[in-house]
Structure 1
Amino acid sequence: MNVAVIGNGGREHAIVKKLYHSKSVDKVIAIPGNAGMNDTAEVIYGVSEKDFEAIAGVCIEKQVDWVVVGPEAPLADGLADFLEDEYDLKVFGPRQSEARLESSKAFTKDIMKKYNIPTAKYETFTDYDKAKQYIEHEGAPIVIKKDGLAAGKGVVVAMNLEEALDGLSSMMDEGDDSEPVVIEEFLEGEEFSLMVLVNEEYTHSFEVIAQDHKRAFDGDQGPNTGGMGAYAPVTHISEEVRLSAVENIVQPMADALVEEGLSYFGVMYLGAIVTNDGVKVIEFNARFGDPEAQVLLSLLENDFAEVLESVWNKEPLTLSWKDGFVVGVMLASDGYPGEYDKGARVDIVQECKEKTYISGLSQTEDGDYITSGGRVLLVTGEGESVQSAREAAYENIKAVTFDDGSLFYRTDIAHRAL
């Protein structure tokens, strides 16, 4: 079969690699892809993930059997609806109504409230003054989230009132109605990421969980990002906790969506936290996490295309996982998640390329890599323990050279597991 992967980030690079090694896949087409995918896919650079007609044209021309949509934005804009309804293509990724699980935090919180799915107490506001009054009444710490998509950066975890009001001002216009914000109670505990394959009431949760690192700097300091690194498995969080999440959160949410008349098909990402009151929801996303996908798919042994078919047919599924651990460290452009420059040269030793997942690199006419995004590449390492995998990842970073000050990375990825 031929499979098209939509997107140009590290998550899509991981999906492309996984499909390239699938015995049931003849060809992988990456739309628009990136400079790291040339060895494993036909890369269609000229087609934007926003150009639905052009994507469909490529899929028809290349006789694509499956379309896997990686990023959240085209899902929220209705790419799955368009390809399915207009061209009868099989799409792994939820339709627009179902993608609201990520594109509208208020929508998702309301469903969790209605169906008693454990999550933080919250209120939704479109009026700045009312939101400000609520924050002043509740106090800090408190969490403020943009309702819509924000590439992992639309969240302020405010530890004092000043930070909370500054965060509110950054998301809402004082005195005017604005796009909704969701204000939540602060939950304390250990966070983890669980990926779930979903087809309506059918779910298969990954048996391996991952842990992301959202803050930009060591010690979980600085602003939230799209993710500065991840590792898996997370063995200090028990299997009992994972099963509790499946029983009390994952399956109830899948069933709730069906009850609401929705037909979810794709990956459901659960961002969860282990509190003194049990496992609760931090967030849901409508796609694989990034960088969690890179480490989890590195561990998954199954033919990924066959997995898609099983989920499509709602068949019993057994996932096989490699022994050991994978740690991934994100190299990001200086200034990210704020303003940053592009065009810095990056060199990767050939032997290390199999251990890297490109997010924000392009190539010059001479074939040199230059930065083109905030998060640039994830460098991974494998080992029999978290410690050895972590050491391998940081050793592999030495195979990546760049100008001083052009890139930065955290030096403490996986510290919670040590």
Structure 2
Amino acid sequence: RFGPGAEAARIEGSKVHAKELMATASVPTAYHAVLRSREETLEHLACASYPAVLKADGLAAGKGVIIAATEAEAREAADVFFLERRFGDTEVVLEEYLEGEELSLLALCDGENVVPLAPAQDYKRIFDGDRGPNTGGMGSYSPVPGFDRARTEEIADAVHRPIVDLMRRRGTAYHGVLYAGLMITPAGPKVLEFNCRFGDPETQAVLPRLRSDLIELCLASRQRGGLQGARAEFTEEWAVTVVLASGGYPASASKGEEISGLADAAAIEGVEVTHAGTAIEASETVTAGGRVLNVTALGPTPSDARERVYRAAGLISFAGMQMRTDIAARAVERVAAS
């Protein structure tokens, strides 16, 4: 089997459980409190610092996080969790708000060893300039300036390996992909979340750069110790991924809108179009979800990859299409300034 067992997979399924693991393994993360009722939440909110972060304990398709700028907004969030029950019957994790830049680091694990992949940076908010509500991700790019192999190994030493070691000692060996969503703060990287799968849309920017055999790495991760001495090698090329979302996303999703331009976009050299929320109706490709398509382009520089991906994305259209226009802009600026 590729992937963790049910107990090991709770690291994604329960944020409360993940926090317990991180505390035991001394993995850096945000200060937090676990809240089990609206009344308890309102008591904590009265003395909390703002902005503050409130998270549903369980799985919520990337939408169970509310960043409250004020106590009034936090009280509204408490109603969403405990009165509206938008995410079901859930506990809530109240976290300090971390300042910095997000970084995503996926790693393959065999129950003992950890092989980190290339880091990526994704964009959670729906609108340019990191405005609007959180989504499952509106784009990503890889590599990330300032995070070479040595820095990546340092992060894996501080984040992934302590978790894998703890799970091994507990008899719930972790096999498969361990995704860490991180905030790079002035005090160093801190974990925002763990996923027990390839992260989306980061994977779309990471895997096209991979030069090692992915199948061999995945098969090796199934065996205890199978990744001993293994490394993941990547090309020097840059990859930029842009997500095309449907109208109304993330609050809702329009469906059944005909999509045009797919073949033209995919015909551009170095471009790959992957489907997420699509369907076939009357021989036509139509929208069928919130995040509809991912467009990824490779290039020798972030500027080249970015120009190519937006040229391809511009050929695709459907009613209500949403697309951020600033994906990887900071990478272009930093490389130009270096």
Asked if residue 254 in structure 1 is aligned to residue 171 in structure 2, the reply is no
CA distance in 2, matches of 1:249, 1:398: 38
Structure-2 separation of matches of 1:385 and 1:232:
11
- Give yes or no for the alignment of 1:189 onto 2:105: no
Q: State how far apart, in whole Å, the 2-side matches of 1:356 and 1:174 are.
A: 37
1:311 to partner: Cα distance: 2.1
> 1:148-199 deviations in whole A, cap 9, x for unaligned?
0001110012222222222222112299x95211111111111100001012
Residue 297 (structure 2) aligns with: 381
Range 155-164 or range 332-341, more displaced: 155-164
Among all aligned residue pairs of Structure 1 and Structure 2, give the percentage whose two residues are the same amino acid: 37
After TM superposition, list the pairs within 5 Å mapping 1:155-304 onto structure 2: 155-173=65-83, 178-206=89-117, 208-237=118-147, 239-304=149-214
Q: How does 1:11-30 map to 2 (within 5 A)?
A: none
Give the partner amino acid of 2:242.
Answer: V
* Equivalent in 311, 314, 326 of residue 412 of structure 1: 326
User: CA 1:184–1:381 in 2, change beyond 3 Å: closer, same or farther?
Assistant: same
AA at the equivalent of 2:263: Q
Quick check: 1:352 aligned with 2:265? Answer: yes
Distance, in Å, in 2 between the alignment partners of 1:279 and 1:339 is: 33
Residues 127/349 of structure 1: CA separation in 2 closer, same or farther (3 Å cut): closer
CA-atom RMSD in angstroms: 1.8
Could you tell me which runs of 5 or more consecutive residues in structure 2 were left unpaired when the two chains were aligned: 334-338
Match of 2:179, SS state, is: strand
**Cα deviation, residue 223, structure 1:** 0.6
TM-score, normalized by length of structure 2?
A: 0.91
Distance 1:311 1:244 in 2: 21
Say which SS state the counterpart of residue 187 (structure 1) adopts. coil
Distance in structure 2 (CA, Å) of the matches to 1:292 and 1:305: 19
Partner residue of 1:143? 53
2: CA distance, partners of 1:100 / 1:215:
26
Is contact 2:3-2:222 (8 Å) kept? Answer: no
Secondary structure at the residue paired with 1:370?
strand
Within the alignment, does 1:132 sit opposite 2:18 as a pair?
no
CA-CA distance at 1:237 after TM superposition: 3.9
Q: Which amino acid aligns with 2:56?
A: K
| Paired residues, number | 323
Q: What secondary structure does 1:294 align onto?
A: helix
Contact 1:129 1:174 in 2 (8 A): no
Alignment partner, residue 13 of structure 1:
none
The answer to whether 1:100 aligns with 2:17 is no
1:110 is paired with a residue whose SS is helix
Distance of 2:254 and 2:159 partners within structure 1: 41
Q: Which runs of no fewer than 5 residues in structure 1 stay unpaired?
A: 1-90
Aligned partners of 2:46 and 2:190: how far apart in 1? 25
Conserved 8 A contact 2:55-2:94 = yes
Asked if residue 118 in structure 1 is aligned to residue 35 in structure 2, the reply is no
Contact 1:327–1:393 (CA<8 Å) still a contact in 2? yes
Q: Is the 8 A contact 1:128 1:178 kept in 2?
A: no
2:336 matched residue in structure 1 = none
Q: Is the 8 A contact 2:107 2:115 kept in 1?
A: yes
1:83 aligned partner: none
Check whether the contact 1:327–1:380 (CA below 8 A) recurs between aligned residues. Answer: yes
Distance 1:169 1:259 in 2: 40
1:392 maps to a residue whose letter is R
Alpha-carbon distance in 2 for matches of 1:94, 1:114: 20
Amino acid in the other structure paired with 1:408? Q
Write the distance in 2 (CA, Å) between the matches of 1:285 and 1:262: 16
Note if contact 1:128-1:174 (Cα within 8 Å) is conserved in structure 2: no
Does the alignment pair 1:318 with 2:318? no
Q: Does 1:398 align with 2:318?
A: no
What letter corresponds to residue 293 of structure 1 in structure 2? T
Q: Aligned runs of 1:6-45 on 2, under 5 Å? A: none
Deviations 1:222-258 (A, max 9, x none): 1110000010000134555423211111111111111
Q: Do the aligned residues in 1 keep the contact of 2:116 with 2:232 (CA within 8 Å)? A: no
Deviations 1:268-311 (A, max 9, x none): 00111111211111111110100111111111122222122222
Q: Deviations over 1:33-63 (max 9, x none)?
A: xxxxxxxxxxxxxxxxxxxxxxxxxxxxxxx
Higher mean C-alpha displacement, 113-122 vs 349-358: 349-358
Distance of 1:172 and 1:323 partners within structure 2: 48
